[in-house]
Amino acid sequence: MKEIVVISGKGGTGKTSITGCFAALAENAVLADCDVDAADLHMLLAPEVIKTTDFISGNEAIIRKDDCTGCGICMARCRFNAIETTPEGKYRVDLYGCEGCMVCVEVCPVKAIDFSPNHCGEWYYSHTRFGPMVHARLGIAQENSGKLVSTVRREAAAKAEELKKDLLIVDGPPGIGCPVIASITGASLLVVVTEPTISGKHDMKRVLELAKHFSIPALVVVNKWDINPEMSTEIEEEAVLGGAEPAGRIPYDRVFTDAQINRRTLVEETTGTVVENVTAIWEKVCRKLK
């Protein structure tokens, strides 16, 4: 089984739209949305959820108000200002501010603070019109997204093996942080989507440095290339210097937005030059995998 991960140095480059096109063009593939902090591939693919599993990671401190004596020791020792007073003169934990360090649990003289497993979100196994999909939803203000990314990838790979699929297509998160590292480690090929702006070029270079560090081959796609042709050429030159290979260009076109509104991928929604560009890029991806 081969694994393609579609990533970008910054958000808003069209990464998910292109991943959706790859899903529509692929055969015998499993899909995974590893952009768990802002998952949106499901908006294009309209998955039917078959199985939902809670994602538990870390712990959260909860003060039992009936047992709290109001001594204030927990508040004095909390370095994250996550303890606040209640109208009754007791204390409670602001779960959005709590870092789970457990200091309050240790210092409470009456042991009135529980340290329960933290429900951070959920991950799903679903069916789409293009095949099986594993995706997730991280809770508001929850962390550990890198761990959830690893869970999604692991479950998607297991499902691909179980169903004897040839390919795993992953919609990765933007940037170069922990979630990105968790999504690309061990991948067969990276497809880096960028746009012809100064920040787009800068962020692409950082992503290619990450790919080089992990010795993963990379292709670069310039989306909306015609809004700045000179910058598009610069980006492709920088890609070659960074050890990657230009995979093609996609022009700016309103049909991308129209397809999103209709919850469909571009290759389902229309025909013409832009679809031909995307199809040619997919064919180059397939040749690179071989």
- The pLDDT tens digits for 122-156 are 999 999 999 999 999 988 777 767 889 999 999 99
- The pLDDT tens digits for 66-103 are 999 999 999 999 999 999 999 989 999 998 888 889 99
User: In the prediction, which pLDDT does 276 show?
Assistant: 94
- Indicate whether 248 pLDDT > 70: yes
Which residues lie below 8 Å from residue 215, measured CB to CB, with a gap of 6+?
Answer: none
Residue 189's domain is classified under what CATH number?
A: 3.40.50.300
User: In the prediction, which pLDDT does 280 show?
Assistant: 97
Token pair listed for 166: 């040839």
Mean pLDDT of the chain: 93
Cβ distance 65 to 88 under 8 Å? yes
Confidence of residue 187 (pLDDT cuts 50, 70, 90): very high
Q: What are phi and psi of 7, to 5 degrees?
A: -135, 175
In a domain, 116, yes or no: no
- If DSSP codes are grouped into helix, strand and coil, which group holds residue 220? strand
Q: Which range of residues forms the domain containing residue 86?
A: 65-111
DSSP assignment, residue 175?
S
Q: Which residues are bridge partners to 93 per DSSP?
A: 83
Residues 126 and 164 in one domain: yes
Mean pLDDT, rounded, for 165-177? 94
Residues 10 and 104 in one domain: no
CA 57 vs. chain centroid, Å, equals 17
DSSP assignment, residue 177?
S
Residues 95 and 76 in one domain: yes
DSSP assignment, residue 139?
P
Residues 175 and 262 in one domain: yes
Residue 78's domain is classified under what CATH number?
A: 3.30.70.20
User: In the prediction, which pLDDT does 144 show?
Assistant: 66
Token pair listed for 60: 């959260």
User: In the prediction, which pLDDT does 193 show?
Assistant: 97
Check residues 270 and 132 and name the one with the higher pLDDT. 132
When divided into structural domains, the chain yields a total of: 2
Closest CA to 186 of 164, 168, 161, 199: 168
- Where is the domain boundary, 77, 111, 145? 111
- The pLDDT tens digits for 102-114 are 999 999 999 999 9
Confidence of residue 290 (pLDDT cuts 50, 70, 90): confident
Tell me which of 13-17, 154-158, 266-270 is least confident. Answer: 266-270
**Is the pTM value of this prediction over 0.85?**
yes
User: In the prediction, which pLDDT does 37 show?
Assistant: 87
Closest CA to 71 of 102, 103, 108: 108
- Indicate whether 272 pLDDT > 70: yes
Mean pLDDT, rounded, for 169-188? 93
Closest CA to 21 of 175, 181, 195, 169: 169
In a domain, 185, yes or no: yes
What is the number of alpha carbons within 13 Å of residue 25 lying toward its C-beta?
Answer: 21
In a domain, 275, yes or no: yes
